[in-house]
Chain A
Amino acid sequence: MPERNFKVSIGPQHPALKEPESFLLTLRGEKITEMTVRLGYNHRGVEKACEGRSYIQCLYLIERVCGICSHSHATCFIQAVEEIAGLAVPKRAQYIRTLIAELERIHSHLLWLGVAGHEIGFDTLLMYTWRDREAVMDILALLTGNRVNYGMNTIGGVRRDITPDQIPQILTAIDALEERTKYYVKVGTEEITLRERLSGVGTLSKEDATRLGAVGPTARASGVDRDTRRDDPYAAYGELDFRVITDNHNDVYGRTLVRLGELMESYKLVRQILKQMPEGPISVKAPRKVPAGEAVSRYEAPRGEDVHYVKANGTEKPERVKVRAPTLANVQVVSHMLKDGYLADMPIVIAAIDPCFSCTDRMISIVDTDRNTANTIEWNELRSIGINWYRKQGIDFTELNRNFKIARELK
């Protein structure tokens, strides 16, 4: 066994990661002694792109920040915009948004179960959970018109209504899924190889979870009792009755239990929503130009607390949009959890925070390690830094840009 320290880089491309991020591990044999996380491989400039698009165009762009938690981002954004514009969203629209939110939570947690199974080599669990997840994907396609990126929201309400003939289909699917989830709870607690791989792995005490800022099921499995749906109710959650699932295991097994518990709560919530849904309009007319103002909106995505900040300036395009995805808060916990862990635990610990790196990569903050300062750089300044750096290397892009412009005009 190689006993000297050697570095392994997990990612950016690695079979364990569904999305690119770089984790540099220093190994001694099979034990991890040090870990460095580097983010930024998925940075697409979404926040900058929002500044050049109208609010309704931004809505579809923000929705595509992530495929799995797309409704979370869309609803969070649109709630901020509606607050600035002072729109009173009708009750039925709030209930429909909550319904889609809970269906999304169900599909996300079932997806996570499968991915966790795959990371520990239990492909059967992957196949079975994803087969059962198809039931909820079909329901979402029936209600919203697409399996992911639902496009259900619009400024001032929702776009589509739930018709009475869809309700029995939803209830049948929820009943079937509840049976299957009860079976997965049994598998998760009784299958010995699963318990061996998940228990005692990735421990995070309650103090560390609060200190490092973990959110979502990652924090709730360490006993931190925080859930935005209960603490700061949005949409229809103020009128619904549900439990917040916490657990004391402090490890990946606890996170599995928390997510399975949340699945059962979601089934109850969906039934409540369908019973309590009021009649009425599904949207109000929204102005094209949103008056000046700013708002912060919070939302409990399947992965944790999602925060959006929108600043409007009276035109039909936003001035600034900021997205703080839950994975950004959780990814700092990973290096703490993997210290003195085994290499074999690395995939499941990273998977246990339910990483969605597409959501994560936002603004780049430049840390100057020599002068120990950190500042943010404006867009044009960043561009000129890049151009000057390449000029110093002897590469000049002005010719290239000129030819490109000419080619574009000729087409």
Chain B
Amino acid sequence: MFRPGKMIKEVLGSVLKRPATTTYPFGDNGEIAKNFRGKLRFFPEKCICCKLCMRDCPSGAINIKKTAEGKISAEIDLAKCIYCGQCVEVCPKEALESTTEFELAQLEHGKLKVTFSADAVGPAKAKA
């Protein structure tokens, strides 16, 4: 009934198998799920400045501002964002979307504030 070293067969078999861990960030690290909630992305041309996202954000991470010429910009604090996606869901014009980017660590706190603005012609330019 009692087998000392019960795991010995399994354990010796693992020597020949591929390891389950990877040498991150080198090596093959697999893929993240397609609808993973990572960094936000804002489309200024779709936004109507209703600020529903600001009202519903649990941590106050998003800030929509209208510049003097009527251009809309969004400042997202990546440190405060909890990546819940509530702003994405509540926006009536689908101006926000969750990307799968998750490697967001920075060495300086100031670099964690990301601004999406439309002062260039064309799609939004993200200033990090």
> A146, B7: Cβ atoms under 8 Å?
no
From A53, A57, A64, A146, give the contact of B37 (CB < 8 A).
Answer: A146
Answer yes or no: B27 CB below 8 A from chain A CBs.
no
> A145, B33: Cβ atoms under 8 Å?
yes
Answer yes or no: B11 CB below 8 A from chain A CBs.
yes
Q: Which residues of A contact B84 (CB under 8 A)?
A: 60, 149, 151
13 residue pairs bridging A and B, Cβ less than 8 Å apart: A54-B55, A54-B56, A60-B58, A60-B86, A124-B7, A124-B11, A125-B7, A145-B85, A154-B89, A186-B6, A190-B1, A191-B4, A191-B6
Q: Which residues of A contact B4 (CB under 8 A)?
A: 191-193
Answer yes or no: B82 CB below 8 A from chain A CBs.
yes
Within 8 A of B (CB), among A138-185: 138, 141-142, 145-146, 149, 151, 154, 159-160, 183
With contacts A60-B86, A190-B1, A190-B2 taken as known, whether A145 is within 8 angstroms of B37 at the C-beta atoms is yes
Answer yes or no: A195 CB below 8 A from chain B CBs.
yes
From B3, B35, B55, B58, give the contact of A61 (CB < 8 A).
Answer: B58
A111-132 to B contact mask, C-beta < 8 Å, 1/0: 0000000000000110010010
With A61-B58, A134-B20, A146-B36 known, 4 other A-B pairs at CB within 8 A are A124-B11, A128-B7, A151-B85, A192-B6
Q: Which residues of B contact A159 (CB under 8 A)?
A: 85, 89
Q: Which residues of B contact A149 (CB under 8 A)?
A: 82, 84
> A146, B10: Cβ atoms under 8 Å?
no
With contacts A64-B82, A190-B6 taken as known, whether A141 is within 8 angstroms of B32 at the C-beta atoms is yes
Answer yes or no: A382 CB below 8 A from chain B CBs.
no
From A60, A61, A128, A192, give the contact of B2 (CB < 8 A).
Answer: A192
> A56, B86: Cβ atoms under 8 Å?
yes
> B33, A195: Cβ atoms under 8 Å?
no
With contacts A191-B7, A192-B4 taken as known, whether A142 is within 8 angstroms of B82 at the C-beta atoms is no
User: Residue on A with the closest CB to B60?
Assistant: A57
Answer yes or no: A187 CB below 8 A from chain B CBs.
yes
How far is A145 from B38 in the complex, measured between Cα atoms in Å?
A: 9
B61-103 to A contact mask, C-beta < 8 Å, 1/0: 0000000000000000000001111100100000000100000
> B33, A142: Cβ atoms under 8 Å?
yes
User: Residue on A with the closest CB to B90?
Assistant: A56
> B2, A151: Cβ atoms under 8 Å?
no
Q: Which residues of B contact A183 (CB under 8 A)?
A: 10
From B1, B6, B20, B33, give the contact of A187 (CB < 8 A).
Answer: B6
How far is A181 from B96 in the complex, measured between Cα atoms in Å?
A: 41
How far is A128 from B9 in the complex, measured between Cα atoms in Å?
A: 13
How far is A258 from B25 in the complex, measured between Cα atoms in Å?
A: 39
Closest-CB distance, B14 to chain A (whole angstroms):
9
Closest-CB distance, B94 to chain A (whole angstroms):
15
Closest-CB distance, B60 to chain A (whole angstroms):
10
Closest-CB distance, B54 to chain A (whole angstroms):
11
Q: Which residues of B contact A193 (CB under 8 A)?
A: 4
Q: Which residues of B contact A142 (CB under 8 A)?
A: 33-35
Within 8 A of B (CB), among A49-69: 53-54, 56-57, 60-61, 64
